[in-house]
A and B are shown apart, each in its own frame.
Chain A
């Protein structure tokens, strides 16, 4: 079974703080993704990565950056957290060229005060 582990399940940060969300996968997938989930909006893609040191913007990259220094690890960075970044953040890996199937972590619930 593919295992995707997100470092923090729950975080509370203050406006302006820097936030790191880390994700590790154990199945050697090239593709890794960061989504955020908000009620009524579903899952929206923030950034994704096809390979080490490669990154591509998704639909809502503003206010975020990412880092992929090793194949198994994909980090999401909020340089200066804002209240509108309060959300559930989901990391995923996979993305078969044929089907796009993804394997998700359990999510990180971030609250920015």
Chain B
């Protein structure tokens, strides 16, 4: 049973527009959430994170929103650029086990 779910396997957006990637989780013990970006033939790289005590974290074009009551988080990319085309993984940290649980990933394609 997947504790972290990314229900959209792919997303296509026009350059300059907003990209919104969504992630849902079921375990209320998760205390920290991270987004990773992965290009083909490379390992995932850390993008942005948010603590469960916050509801928003912003870093340049990237903003992550957390809705704890809905057990939902989203990553907003504004404006989207062709170089943002990659697979994005949502991950959640369980402090009890000190492990990350990953979602299935969303492939973002930003069209020029």
Contact = CB atoms under 8 A, between A and B. Distances in A.
A35 B36 CA distance: 14
B43 A95 contact: no
B60 to A, nearest CB: 18
B14 interface: no
Interface residues of A, number: 26
B99 A45 contact: yes
A102 B100 contact: yes
A99 B42 contact: no
A104 B44 contact: yes
Contacts of B99: 45, 48, 58, 95, 100
Given A95-B100, A100-B34, 14 more contacts: A9-B41, A31-B98, A41-B104, A43-B102, A45-B101, A48-B99, A92-B43, A95-B99, A98-B95, A99-B34, A100-B93, A100-B94, A102-B100, A104-B43
17 contacts: A40-B104, A42-B4, A42-B6, A42-B89, A42-B102, A42-B103, A43-B91, A43-B102, A45-B100, A58-B99, A98-B95, A99-B34, A100-B32, A100-B94, A100-B98, A103-B46, A107-B41
Interface of A: 4, 9, 31, 35, 40-45, 48, 58, 90, 92, 95, 97-107
